[in-house]
Amino acid sequence: MSLPDQLTYLRIILSPIFYAMFLSESVALKQYSLLVFFVAAITDWYDGFIARRYGYSSRWGKFIDPLADKILITFALFAFVSLQLIDAWFVWLIVTRDFIITLLRSYAEYKGKPVITSLSAKTKTFGLYIAVYYTLLLYVGKYIPSLHQSFRNEIENLLHPQVLFGMMLVVTIATTWTGVVYIYENWKILRELFLSEK
C-alpha cells in the first residue's frame, strides 16, 4: 500500500475519533479534537503532495481519496447537529448531494473516464470548508479559557443561531445547485459510463 493511500485511510480512521472527542463532556478532549481534525485535514494535502511529487497514482486512490474528505466533513457536520448548532436538514441535503457526486466522480475516475469539476463546484466546496472551520474553531474556542475570557461576547455573537443558520442556508443552496449543474453538464459522460456496464 502506497503512503498516500495510508494517509487517506488515516483520515478515515481519525474522523470518528474526532467526532467522539468533539462531543465528549471532557473539556480537554474537546480541545484536542481540534488537533485531531487538523491532522486529518493535513493528510489530505500531504497525500496529494506525495502522490504528485513521486508519481503515486492508482484508480483506487482516485476513488477513495475524495470519499475520505467527505467522510471527515460529514462527521464534523453531524457533530454540529448533535450539539444543535445547525439544523439537520441542512446536513442531510449537503451530505446526500456530496456523496452522490463524489461516488459518481470517483467511479468515473476509476473507470478511466474522468468528468469535469466546475469552478462553481470548487467554490462551493471551499465555502463548505470555511463554514465547517468557522463553526469548529469558534465552538472549541468557548472551551479554551484564555480565549473565552478575552473574547466571550465576540464568540457568542459569531455563534449566534441566526448567523449559523444564514451561513448554512447559503452553503446548502450552493451545494444543491452545483450538484444539479454537475449532473447536467456531465450527463452524456455519466450515461455512457453506466450504459457500458450493461
Distance separating alpha carbons of residues 161 and 166, to the nearest angstrom: 9
Instruction: Give the DSSP H or E segment for 45.
Output: helix 27-54
Written as nine digits, the cell of 23 is 462531543
- The predicted structure's pLDDT at residue 106: 72
Cβ(37)–Cβ(18) under 8 Å?
yes
pLDDT tens per residue across all 198 residues of the chain: 677 678 889 999 999 999 999 999 999 999 999 999 999 989 877 776 676 676 666 666 666 777 888 899 999 999 999 999 999 999 999 999 988 887 777 777 766 666 666 677 778 888 999 999 999 999 999 999 888 888 899 999 999 999 999 999 999 999 999 888 888 877 776 676 666 655
- Give the CATH class of 3-195: mainly alpha
For residue 79, the 8-state DSSP code is H
Residue ranges of domains in the chain: 3-195
Distance separating alpha carbons of residues 106 and 87, to the nearest angstrom: 29
Burial code (b: 16+ CB inside 10 Å, e: under 16) for 127-148 equals: ebeebbeebbebbbbbbbeebe
